[in-house]
Structure 1
Amino acid sequence: MSEGVVTETGVRARTRRAILDAAIETLTKQPSATLADIAAAANVGRTTVHRYFPERSDLIDAVSFDALDKISQGTKRARLDEGSAPAALARLCQEYFEFGDIFQLLFTMPDLVTRPEWQEENEDDRALLGVVERGQREGTIDPAMPKEWLLQLLWSLLYTAWEMAREKKTPKHEALGLCLRSLEKVLAVG
């Protein structure tokens, strides 16, 4: 009997994931998309979407928390406390590059990042600032560059790489390579 529960839970989890992924993709292209639009993109019925997310705001909440969770997982995988600070930031860019759809959605729907969960500094924010500060202390990141400036440049480089891959059809590996090369030059001391 417990196998049936596990299977149902697995099916529910996959369906929920399909809806969230479809929401991210659909809302990035059309921020005013309806639940019916998202259901069609997820290849499920509108009633299925309503079963998981009764209101559009419930789906937006789930997308927001899912994005934060993915960012947190990517930050952990980047191992920011290992190696030089520039190498750690390069690993972080590689991780975050894979979440281009999520970040594109955040840029497309700026009201998402004004939500309370995005306004509070979290562990990932502190880790990112910490690696920049560590690099400046160690002399591997230019201390004349304010850390807030460097973080904005990092986000700008990632955004440019995502746009090049998405809009200009630049191969992903090439866009990421240009991003990493530019980051290396931005962080360089001297």
Structure 2
Amino acid sequence: MSVHLLQTATSVLLKDPTASLGDVARAAGVGRTTLHKRYPTRTDLVRAVASEALDLIHSVAREVDFESDDALEDLMRRLVPLGPRVEFLLRFPGLERDEEVAGRIREMDRPVLDVITRLQGTRLRRDLPAWWILQTAYAGLFIAWEAISDGRLAPLDAPRFVLTTVFEGVQHVGTADRA
């Protein structure tokens, strides 16, 4: 029940960041008391949704060989199915002020930033900060997930769209490095 509840809470809170615990309980088909027993406050629920999202992303990231030059492609392919979770972490207001959540996000970003930095000057542009390229990839994931949920993009096509945007949109072009 907890996984279903957190998935439902993710959807409800993404649609309406001001949704109450009662709104989440109704959408999940559970009583408000049941929800309050698990998550006494809205902050507890939001933190649980963020924590579950980070746990899922971390489990996927553990399967990626970050020493490989293909690590970014592998990670994006694995993250596309987790679109709502990534979107929640990127868009939900106030998460950046929760030091525990913010710290876990920074920890999650570190190996990805290392890969991007390693690829700059060869496959990725050197004149853009690594954090910008990372945020571009995350934005691509968000857009892909939104397009999938709207029925405009097939889930199997999404990683290619994101990766094409990252590698061709910020690709190394030789002369840009000389600036």
TM-score band w.r.t. shorter chain: 0.7 to 0.9
Structure with the higher helix share, 1 or 2: 1
User: 2:66 and 2:48 mapped to 1: Cα distance?
Assistant: 27
TM-score scaled by length of structure 2 = 0.83
Of 22, 26, 32, which residue of structure 1 is paired with 2:18? 32
- The answer to whether residue 144 in structure 2 is matched with residue 161 in structure 1 is yes
Q: Identity over aligned residues, as a percent?
A: 30
Equivalent in the alignment of 1:96? 79
The yes-or-no answer on 1:72 pairing with 2:72 is no
Q: Is contact 2:17–2:93 with CA below 8 Å preserved after alignment?
A: no
Is 2:53–2:89's contact at 8 Å kept on the other side of the alignment? no
Q: Secondary structure at the match of 1:31?
A: coil
Counterparts of 1:144 and 1:61 in 2: how far apart (Å)? 36
Query: Given the superposition, is the C-alpha separation of residues 54 and 126 from structure 1 closer, same or farther in structure 2, using an over 3 Å criterion?
Result: same
In structure 2, the partner of 1:44 is 30
Quickly say closer, same or farther: Cα 1:187–1:76, change in 2 above 3 A: farther
Secondary structure of the residue aligned to 2:164 is helix
Could you list the structure 1 runs, at least 4 aligned residues long, displaced by more than 3 angstroms after superposition. Answer: none
1:147-177 deviation digits (Å, cap 9, x = unpaired): 1221122122222212222235322222332
Q: Which protein shows a greater Rg?
A: 1
CA contact (8 A) 1:90 1:183 kept: no
Structure 1 unpaired stretches of 5+: 1-14
Query: Does the CA contact (< 8 Å) of 2:120 and 2:172 recur in 1?
Result: no
With structure 1 as the length reference, what TM-score do the two structures score? 0.79
Which structure would you say has the larger RCO, counting Cα contacts within 8 Å and 6 or more residues apart?
Answer: 2
CA RMSD of aligned residues (A): 2.1
- Secondary structure (helix, strand or coil) at the match of 1:160 reads helix
SS of the equivalent of 1:80 reads coil
Rate the CA distance shift 1:115–1:46 in 2: closer, same or farther, 3 A: same
Give the equivalent residue in structure 2 for 1:19. Answer: 5
CA distance in 1, matches of 2:88, 2:124: 30
